[in-house]
Amino acid sequence: MDGMKGEVVKVSGPLVVASGLGGARMYEMVRVGELGLFGEIIEIKGNEYSIQTYEETEGIGPGQPVVRTGEPLSVELGPGLIRSIYDGIQRPLDTLARDFGEYIVRGTQRPALDRTKTWDFKPVAGVGDTVKGGDVLGTVQESALVIHSIMVPPGRSGTVRQIGPVTGNVDTRVAVIEGPEGTFDITMVQRWPVRDPRPAKRKIPPTQTMTTGQRIIDMFFPIAKGGTACVPGPFGSGKTVVQHQLAKWADAQIVVYVGCGERGNEMTDVLMEFPHLKDPASGQPLMERTVLIANTSNMPVAAREASVFTGISIAEYFRDMGYSVALMADSTSRWAEAMREISGRLEEMPGEEGYPAYLGSRIAGFYERAGSVICIGSDDRRGSVSIIGAVSPPGGDLSEPVVQTTLRVVKVYWGLDDKLAFARHFPAINWLTSYSLYQDIADTDSDSSIDGAWSTNRKRAMTILQKEAELDELVRLVGIDALSYEDRLLMQAAKIIREDFLHQNAFDDRDTYTSLHKQFRLLNLILRYYDEIRTGLADGATLDALLKLNVLEDISRAKLIPEDDPGRFSEIEADIVNSIRALIW
Amino acid sequence: MGNIIREYRTIKEIVGPLMLVDDVEGVTYGELADIKMEDGSVRRGRVLEVHGKKAMVQVFEGTRGLSPEEVKVKFLAKGMEFGMSVDMLGRVFDGSGRPIDDGPAIIPEKYLNVNGNQINPYARDYPNEFIQTGISTIDLLNTLVRGQKLPLFSGSGLPHSRIAAQIARQAAVLKTGEKFAVVFAAMGITFEEAEFFIADFRKTGAIERSVLFINLADDPPIERLTLPRMALTTAEFLAFEKDMHVLVILTDITNYCEALREISAARKEVPGRRGYPGYLYTDLSTIYERAGRIKGKNGSITQIPVLTMPEDDKTHPIPDLTGYITEGQIIILRTLHAQGIYPPVDVLPSLSRLKDKGIGAGKTREDHSDVMNQLYAAYAQGKNARELAVVLGESALTDEDILFVKFSDAFEDRFIRQGEYENRTIEESLRIGWELLGMLPKNLLKRVRDEFIEHYYPKSS
Ligand SMILES: Nc1ncnc2c1ncn2[C@@H]1O[C@H](COP(=O)(O)OP(=O)(O)OP(=O)(O)O)[C@@H](O)[C@H]1O
Ligand SMILES: [Mg+2]
C-alpha cells in the first residue's frame, strides 16, 4: 500500500488534516502524532485527508506523523463483552483504570477482550460439516445468563476440518475450516467495522412485546422486541431514569447501555447498582447480561459520535446468536451534537440549527439497525435488537431537528413532560401525547396470555384520562362545582389511575417493577371501583360519601401488594362492594 | 523541536481576541505563546488552530493596543500549565494565575495542565455523603452530597452571591478530622461583589482554607475561559493529591459563556441558539464534569456554579445546557426575594438529583426522606390553593385548602426564611419541619410513615 505514513497539515480541535496518505479510504483508522492518537478519516479532498480524532489533540502540530492502520473503526466481538465497560471506541475502561490510573491517558490502548481470561469452548458442529456464515460452531458459557455462540463470520463458508473442546483465551483456535479460498482458522473473536450493519437473512415485523415492568409503558405505550422508541424531554424530566429502568427490568436477554455524552456519575451508578440487582426472570445479577459503553460528556466528541455505532454493532452480534437485545442510547442529542461539531470544523454547509444536512439520514440509519430478524446461519433462528433513544431538546423545544427527525423513524414516543416532573409525577410520560404503534401486538399478546379483558380495560382507562383532560379545562374556568355528579366520579377515577397506576416510583423496591399480571389486576381494581361508585350513585349514595370511601386507602396501596399475593386484589374488590352497599342501606 | 527558540514577528491579522501568525514552524495545537510588546510587557496566548505555517492565537488579556508591526510572538512548546502548591491556600490570584494579594510568590510543588484529564468513569466513586450547608431549603429538601455539581440558577439583582458565600462559610462535614477547602472562581463579577466575598472569607477565617481566583467585570474577558480551569486544576490537586474535600464556587457562568461566544464569533463559527457556539454543552461539561469522587482517594470535589439567567428564563441556553449536565439545580426566586425572604429558594422546581443517596439513618436521620416528601407535597398543595383563590376567589377554598394556605405561608416564613449567618444543623431543620407539619392533622400526613409520626409529631401545639 502506498502512503502508509503521512503528516499533519492542520489541527483545529478534534479535526486534524493530513497529507501523504495516498490510497487511504474513507473511515479508515489512523494514528495521529507522536502520541499515536486514534482517529478516523472522514473526508478526502485531493491530497488532504480530514481526520476526526478520538482523543484530545493538544500538542499535535503540522509535520507530525500520521500512520494508517489499513482498517476501518472496528469492534472486537467474542466472549468477555458481557459485564464490560467500554469507551466510545471500545477501549476497556476497567483495564485502562487498572493499568493507567484514574484518568484516561491519551494514546493508550488495551485489547477490548481481556486476553488473560480463559473460556471453555464446547463444539456443536463436527468434523466434516459444511458450514456458512452465521452457523454456530460451538458455545462458551460467558456469564450466568449468557451462552455465547461462536459463529462462522458473515461471508465465510466451507467444511469443518478440525474442531474439538478447548480451553483458552479468545485468540485460541477452536476450529479449522476449508473454504473455497483455502483453509482458515476460527478463533473465539471476530472483528466488525462498526459503521456497517451486520447482515441478517431477512428482517421480519416484530411480533412480541418487550415487557418492561413499567406500568404506563406496558399498559399504554408498549414496545415490541425489535422495535424502536424515543424518550424526548427537557432536563430533569426523567429520561435517564426511564432508560435505567428499562435496562434493569425489560425482558430482553442482553442489554447494551450506551451513555453517550452524559454524566460520568450515571455510569458509576449503573456499575455499582447492577451487580446487586436481580433479573426478575432468572434471579441472576443484572450485570450478567449487560454491556456498558460510556462516553461521558467531557470525553472527546468524535469518540462520542462513534459510541452509538460501537454499541449497535455489539447488539447486532448478540442478535445474530438468536438473542433479544435491547440497546439504550442516552442521549442521541449529544450524538447529533457531536456530528454537528465535526461538520462545522469541516466547514460543511449547515442545515437546520447548524446540524449537517445528513442528520436525518444518519439518525434513520441508526434506528434501522434495530429490528426483528431471521439470523444468518442454517437454522433460521430469530433474534432482535430494540433501540430506545433518549432525546434532549434544547429548552424542551420539540420542534428542533433531532426530535423531529427521530419521530419520523421511531414507532414509540414516550413524551416526557416537565410539568409532570415538576409535580413529581414520575415517570413523567405524558399519557395524552405519547403513542405506540405496537399496541396491536401487545393487545393480542396480553389478551391471550394475561386476561381477555386486557385491551378493553386499557381502552376504557385511556378514555377516562382523555375525558378528564377535557373536564379539567372546564374546572379551571368555572370550578369543580359546575360538574355533574357523573363527571365528578369520572374525575375521581382518572385521579386514581394517575396517582395509583401511572405513577411509579423507580426508587422504591416494591414499586420499581410490576408484572403484567399485577398490572392487569391493579387497573382492573380501579375500574371496578369506578363501576361500583357509579352504580352506588344511581342507587342513591351521596357523592361525598362515594368520594371518601375508606377503601381508597387500600386502592392507593395496591401497587405495593407483593407479586405473590393476587388474592389481596379480590379482598379489596369485595371491600369496595361492601362499603358501597353499606352506604345505600 | 521544542529546543529551537521560536520567536516571530509575522503577525498577519488581528481580529477581536485572535491573532494570526504566519511562517511558523513546529507549532502545536493548544500550545502557549508569549506575546511581547515593544514596551517590554508580555501577554499570554494559546494556539486555537494551526494550519501549515499559520497559527491562530487567542490572546488572553485581549488584543487592545497590539500592532502587527510591533509585537513578537514566542511559542513556549508546552500547553497551559499551572504551578500547584498547598501554599495557595489563603491566597488570591488573578485570571492568569498571578497572585494579586501582597503575599510572596508561590513556589510550585508540581505543574499541571489546566485542561485536566477526563476521569475514567470506571474509577469514579458514587457521591453519597451528606454535606451540611446550614441552609434548611438545601439540607432538608435539596440535599447536597460530596462530589455533586449543584448550580444556583439566579437572576440579576438577586442575592445568589450571599447564598454562595453562606454555603462556603457553613459547609461543614459531619465527620471530624477531615480537611476541607474552598476554591472560589470569580468570572467577570463586579469589584463590589468580589470584595464582598473576600471580606466575608477574611472575617470568618474561611480565607485560610480558600484559594481565590478573581477576574473582574473590567478584566479581559478571554481570561474567563481559563480561569475556571485553573481553579479546577487547583481543586483536583487539593482533593486528589492532598486528600481535601474541596468546594468549588464558580460565579458567574453566564459571563464565562459570553466570553466563549466572543471567541466563537471572532472565529466566524456557525452560531447555535442565541449566538452561542454549538459546542457550548461539551465545553461546559469539561468544567462541570470535573466534580466528583474517585475510588481509593480520600478527597472530593463539589461544585456550586452560579449563573444569572437572562430575563429569568430557564430555557435560555446557559441554564438549559447547565441543567443537562449538573445533578439538579437550586432556583432563586424573584418574587420571594421581593417579599423580603432570604434565602429566596424556589423550593418546588429546585432539585438535588443525588439527594436520595445522601440521606436517611446513619447519614442524616431516619425520617428525613418522609419529612422532605411531606413538606414538599404540603407546600405544593398550599401554593396551588393560593393560586386557586386568586382565580376563583377565597370562597372557592375548602377548609382543607385554607389550612394548607396557612401552612405554606408559615413554611415560607419559618422554614425558607433564615438568617444569613444562621447555621442550622440538619436536626434543627428537621425540628422546624416537624413544627410546621404539626399545623396539619396527622391523617393528612400521607407521606410520612406511622412510626415517624408517632415519634416526631409535635405532642401539643
Ligand atoms: N420513575 C421515577 N421515580 C422517581 N423519581 C424519578 C423517576 N424518574 C425521574 N425521577 C426523578 O427525576 C430526576 C431526574 O431524572 P433523570 O436524571 O432521569 O432526568 P433526565 O431527563 O435524564 O435529565 P437530563 O437530561 O438532565 O439527563 C431523578 O434524579 C429523580 O429524582
Ligand atoms: Mg439524563
Q: Are residues A417 and A527 in the same domain?
A: no
Q: What is the CATH number of the domain that holds A294?
A: 3.40.50.300
Using a CB-CB cut-off of 8 Å, the residues of chain A touching B282 are 261, 297-298, 301, 337-338, 341
- Position A89 in a domain: no
Q: Judged by CB atoms within 8 Å, which residues 269-308 of A form the interface with B?
A: 269, 271-272, 294, 296-299, 301
Q: Are residues A173 and A207 in the same domain?
A: no
Q: What span, in angstroms and rounded, lies between the C-alpha atoms of B200 and A189?
A: 63
Element housing B9 (H / E) = none
- Position A448 in a domain: no
- Position A197 in a domain: no
Whole-number Å distance, alpha carbon A87 to ligand 2 midpoint, is 18
Residue A316 burial class via C-beta count within 10 angstroms: exposed 0-12, middle 13-18, buried 19 and up: buried
The reply to whether ligand 1 has any atom less than 6 angstroms from the CB of A392 is: yes
The reply to whether ligand 1 has any atom less than 6 angstroms from the CB of A214 is: no
Closest Cα in chain B, distance from residue A421 (Å): 9
Using a CB-CB cut-off of 8 Å, the residues of chain B touching A291 are none
DSSP state of B378: H
Cross-strand partners of A231: A390
First vs last C-alpha separation in chain A: 95
Cell of B277: 457556539
- Position A11 in a domain: yes
Residue A17 contacts B, CB cutoff 8 Å: yes
Over residues A399-409, the mean pLDDT reads: 95
- Residues sharing a CB contact under 8 Å with residue A466, sequence separation 6 or more, in sequence order: A432
The string of DSSP letters for A386-428 reads: EEEEEE--GGG-TTSHHHHHHHHH-SEE--B-HHHHHTT-SS-
Is the backbone of residue B37 left (phi > 0), alpha (psi -120 to 50) or beta? beta
Average pLDDT over all residues of chain A: 93
Closest Cα in chain B, distance from residue A294 (Å): 7
Cross-strand partners of A429: A416
Element housing A481 (H / E) = none
- Report CA torsion sign: A496, A501, A503, A508: positive
CB atoms within 10 A of CB B389: 16
Whole-number Å distance, alpha carbon A423 to ligand 1 midpoint, is 12
- Position A87 in a domain: no
- Which residues are placed with Cβ below 5 angstroms of ligand 2, an ion? A 239-240
Q: What span, in angstroms and rounded, lies between the C-alpha atoms of B104 and B87?
A: 10
- Preferred mutation among A105, A265, A276, A332 to probe B, highest tally of B CBs within 10 A: A265
Q: What span, in angstroms and rounded, lies between the C-alpha atoms of B239 and B125?
A: 14
- Residues sharing a CB contact under 8 Å with residue A227, sequence separation 6 or more, in sequence order: A206, A210, A370, A386, A411, A412, A438
DSSP state of B206: G
The reply to whether ligand 1 has any atom less than 6 angstroms from the CB of A238 is: yes
Q: Cell 464582598 identifies what position? A: B196
CB atoms within 10 A of CB B100: 14
**Helix A485-496 × helix A516-538 angle, to 10°:** 160
Q: What is the CATH number of the domain that holds A562?
A: 1.10.1140.10
Whole-number Å distance, alpha carbon A259 to ligand 2 midpoint, is 9
- Report CA torsion sign: A49, A54, A60, A65: negative
Q: What is the spatial order of strands in the sheet that A130-132 belongs to?
A: A130-132, A157-163, A173-179, A182-187
Whole-number Å distance, alpha carbon B324 to ligand 2 midpoint, is 7
- CA A552 vs. chain centroid, Å, equals 37
A299 vs A55, A113, A295, A305, A388, CA distance in Å? 8, 22, 6, 11, 22
pLDDT digits (tens, 9 = 90+) for A409-452: 999 999 999 889 988 899 999 999 999 999 999 999 999 999 99
Minimum CA–CA partner of A396 in chain B = B315
The reply to whether ligand 1 has any atom less than 6 angstroms from the CB of A513 is: no
- Residues sharing a CB contact under 8 Å with residue A124, sequence separation 6 or more, in sequence order: A136, A137, A138, A139
Domain end call among A33, A56, A72: A72
DSSP state of B345: B
pLDDT of residue A291: 96
Predicted structure pTM score: 0.93
Best residue among A214, A235, A241 to mutate for probing ligand 1, ranked by most atoms within 8 Å of CB? A241
Q: Are residues A216 and A341 in the same domain?
A: yes
Element housing A141 (H / E) = strand A136-141
pLDDT of residue B5: 64
Split at pLDDT 50, 70, 90, the class of A477 is: confident
CB A333 within 8 A of CB A400: no
pLDDT of residue A232: 97
Cell of B71: 509585537
Q: Are residues A303 and A416 in the same domain?
A: yes
Torsion angle of the four alpha carbons B84, B85, B91, B94, in this order, in degrees rounded to the nearest 10: -10
Query: Closest Cα partner for A67 from A102, A10, A29, A105?
Result: A29
Q: Are residues A380 and A483 in the same domain?
A: no
- CA A203 vs. chain centroid, Å, equals 19
Q: What is the CATH number of the domain that holds A169?
A: 2.40.50.100
> CA angle at residue A484 from A479 to A486, to 5 degrees?
125
Q: Cell 393476587 identifies what position? A: A566
- Position A79 in a domain: no
Closest Cα in chain B, distance from residue A547 (Å): 15
Residue A422 contacts B, CB cutoff 8 Å: yes
Domain count, chain A: 4
pLDDT of residue B1: 45
pLDDT digits (tens, 9 = 90+) for A524-541: 999 999 999 999 999 989
Q: What span, in angstroms and rounded, lies between the C-alpha atoms of A264 and B121?
A: 5
Q: Are residues A471 and A417 in the same domain?
A: no
Q: Are residues A223 and A305 in the same domain?
A: yes
First vs last C-alpha separation in chain B: 80
pLDDT of residue A11: 95
The reply to whether ligand 1 has any atom less than 6 angstroms from the CB of A240 is: yes
DSSP state of A356: B
- The number of residues making up chain B comes to 461
| Tens of each residue's pLDDT in chain B, 461 residues | 445 667 899 999 999 889 999 999 999 999 999 999 888 889 989 999 999 999 999 998 888 888 999 899 999 988 888 999 999 999 999 988 899 988 999 999 999 999 888 899 999 999 989 999 999 999 999 999 999 999 999 999 999 999 999 998 888 554 567 889 999 999 999 999 999 999 998 888 888 899 999 999 998 888 899 999 999 999 999 999 999 999 999 999 999 999 999 888 888 888 888 889 988 998 999 999 999 999 999 999 999 999 999 999 999 999 999 999 999 999 999 999 999 999 999 999 999 999 988 899 989 999 999 999 999 999 999 998 998 888 878 887 888 889 999 999 999 999 999 999 999 999 999 999 999 999 999 888 988 988 999 999 998 65
Q: What span, in angstroms and rounded, lies between the C-alpha atoms of A395 and A362?
A: 23
Q: Are residues A140 and A218 in the same domain?
A: no
**Residue nearest atom 14 of ligand 1, based on CA coordinates:** A236
Cell of B439: 399545623
Please judge whether A341 and B282 are an interchain contact, meaning their C-beta atoms are less than 8 angstroms apart.
yes
Percent of chain A whose pLDDT exceeds 70:
99
Residue B325 CA, closest ligand 1 atom number: 26
Whole-number Å distance, alpha carbon B357 to ligand 1 midpoint, is 14
Q: Is the pLDDT of residue A363 over 80?
A: yes
Cis peptide bond prior to A72, omega within 30° of 0: no
Out of B121, B323, B396, whose CB is closest to A93? B121
**Helix A359-368 × helix A401-409 angle, to 10°:** 40
Q: Are residues A178 and A255 in the same domain?
A: no
Cell of A221: 405505550
Q: What span, in angstroms and rounded, lies between the C-alpha atoms of B330 and B149?
A: 11
Using a CB-CB cut-off of 8 Å, the residues of chain B touching A301 are 279, 282
Using a CB-CB cut-off of 8 Å, the residues of chain A touching B294 are 102
The string of DSSP letters for B19-76 reads: EEE-S--S--TT-EEEEE-TTS-EEEEEEEEEETTEEEEEETT--TT--TTT-EEEE-
The reply to whether ligand 1 has any atom less than 6 angstroms from the CB of A233 is: yes
Contacts 24+ apart (CB under 8 A), A346-352: A346/A15, A346/A42, A346/A43, A346/A50, A350/B270, A351/A401, A352/A401
- Report CA torsion sign: B20, A355, B222, B213: negative
**Helix A439-449 × helix A454-478 angle, to 10°:** 120
Q: What is the CATH number of the domain that holds A48?
A: 2.40.30.20
DSSP state of A105: P
Q: Are residues A372 and A227 in the same domain?
A: yes
- Position A93 in a domain: no
- Position A81 in a domain: no
The reply to whether ligand 1 has any atom less than 6 angstroms from the CB of B383 is: no
Q: Which ligand is nearest to the CA of B320?
A: 1
Q: What span, in angstroms and rounded, lies between the C-alpha atoms of A82 and B49?
A: 41
Using a CB-CB cut-off of 8 Å, the residues of chain A touching B351 are 236
Is the backbone of residue A498 left (phi > 0), alpha (psi -120 to 50) or beta? alpha
Please judge whether A296 and B27 are an interchain contact, meaning their C-beta atoms are less than 8 angstroms apart.
no
CB B223 within 8 A of CB B95: yes
Closest Cα in chain A, distance from residue B274 (Å): 11
Q: Are residues A314 and A281 in the same domain?
A: yes
Q: Are residues A433 and A482 in the same domain?
A: no
pLDDT digits (tens, 9 = 90+) for A102-134: 999 888 889 999 999 999 999 999 999 999 999
The string of DSSP letters for A168-235 reads: E-TTSEEEEEEETTEEEEEES-EEEETTSPPP-SEEE---SEE--S-HIIIIIS-EETT-EEEEE--T
Q: Is the pLDDT of residue A482 over 90?
A: no
DSSP state of A137: E
pLDDT of residue B388: 84
Which residues constitute the domain of residue A260?
A: 202-438
Closest Cα in chain A, distance from residue B202 (Å): 35
